[in-house]
Amino acid sequence: MNFDFSDDQKQLRDQARKFLAEKCSPKAVRVVLDGKAPYDKELWKGLAEMGFLGVAIPEEFGGAGAGHLELCVIAEEMGRANAPVPFSSTVYLAGEALLIAGSDAQKKKWLPAIASGEAIGTLALFEGKGNPSPKNIKLTAANGVLNGVKKPVADGAIADFAVVAARTGSSGRDSDIALFLVDLKAAGVEVKSLTNLDPTRGQAEISFKDCKAEPLGAAGEGWSTLSQMLDRAAVLCAFEQVGGSDRALEMGRDYALDRIAFGRQIGSFQAVKHMLADMYVSATLARSNSYYGAWALSTNAAELPEAAAAARISATQAFQHCAKNNIQVHGGMGFTWEFDCHMYYRRANAMALGLGSLTYWEDQLIDRMRKKNAA
């Protein structure tokens, strides 16, 4: 047993951290935050050059062929830097969908484009209120033609292609759901940007009107592929959330050492110390749960569904907890646009919803634990 990343993986993490510290300063993040660009194109290009976009993509499809543990350590750094790029949509969702269910031709077409940074991908799943569920998918697919509206779609306005979840039948079974690959420049696609909690990662509404689409994976397996995708993305997002939690904690700690009130560093007041200690506790629990998720993801273990749900819940809570208390530690300064605290607060709360809310994952976790105990 060895419950830690290898030295090589840690080295990769250091490399990613250094790269992002240089190319993704808070100032660079703000260009996107302030609406001056939809995402950081330079950074995106740089990430491709570093090989980070294709780290878990096999070499035959243009990737580095490393693996998912390597992707986890990079994800942590993306979260720490609050990177304003469509990394999660493209790599964790679209990329993983292709790896799980793509035909050889589909993989050949899209995976190298992902790895090289030429194509941005996303998942079009949600249709308004509600959590992932077959019954919430109303968009129809008939004869290879899609009709319906998806909203919100993360990074939808900048994506080149989307994996779209559609309904092909009305039996009420999971097999009614199928996945499709859609080139978003195709006829019948209309995209509208939506303002959202975290402008550093855009959201869009996408309408499909008699839009041609090619199936991704077997017809009746859309929902099972989707659940696998969500589990895998849950682990990877958890690492981003862990990175974000750590950064928020660090910012809070640094400010507590810096700021003087009543003639003392505010970090010498026990209420502040204990708030920071609790942030450390939640970040640590999240990190440990995420490591277990990483192990399950990288070995495709039977434990993955349960491990993914636990990582998801724990990391979501930790990031929200650390981001909100980081603002509290900063006092009035923390509530200014000028300070960076709100960027993490926005990201934490947006990420808490992206793959389905906590309620959804709590349900998933308990179902999976029950199944395990029954077995």
Q: Which residues bind another protein (CB under 8 A)?
A: 1-6, 69, 249, 253, 256-257, 264-265, 267-268, 270, 272-274, 276-278, 280-281, 284-286, 288-289, 291-292, 294-295, 298, 309-310, 313-314, 317, 359, 361-363, 365-366, 369-370, 373
Instruction: State the nearest-atom distance from the C-beta of 114 to another protein, in Å.
Output: 25
- Separation between Cα atoms, residue 85 and residue 69, nearest integer Å: 21
CB atoms under 10 Å from CB of 244, counted, come to: 29
- How near is the Cβ of 6 to another protein at its closest, in Å? 8
Cβ closer to another protein: 65 or 67? 67
Give Cα 279 to chain centroid, integer Å: 22
CA–CA separation, 226 and 163 (whole Å): 10
Choice between 186 and 366, CB closer to another protein: 366
Minimum CB distance to another protein smaller for 132 or for 222: 132
Closest CB 366 distance from another protein, rounded Å:
5
In angstroms, what is the minimal distance from the CB of 368 to another protein?
10
Instruction: Write down the least CB distance from residue 291 to another protein, Å.
Output: 6
Q: Which is nearer to another protein, 180 or 361 (CB)?
A: 361
Q: Specify the residue, 89 or 316, whose C-beta has the smaller distance to another protein.
A: 316
Q: Helix/strand/coil (H, E, C) string of 192-246?
A: EEECCCCCCCCEEEEEEEEEECEEECCHHHHHHHHHHHHHHHHHHHHHHHHHHHH
Q: Determine which helix (DSSP H) or strand (DSSP E) holds 259, and give its type and residue range.
A: none
Q: Among residues 182 and 313, whose Cβ is nearest to another protein?
A: 313
Taking a C-beta distance cutoff of 8 angstroms, is the pair 236, 72 a contact?
yes
For the bound state, the minimum distance from the C-beta of residue 100 to another protein, rounded and expressed in Å, comes to: 21
Tell me which residue of 125, 82, 157, 365 sits closest to 225, measured CA to CA.
125
Least distance in Å: CB of 28 to another protein? 28
Q: Are 233 and 163 in contact (CB under 8 A)?
A: no
The DSSP-derived string for 175-187 is: GGEEEEEEETTST
Residues 140, 146: contact at Cβ < 8 Å? yes
Contact 129, 183 (CB under 8 A): no
Among residues 75 and 164, whose Cβ is nearest to another protein?
75
Whether omega before 134 lies within 30 degrees of 0, making that bond cis, reads: no
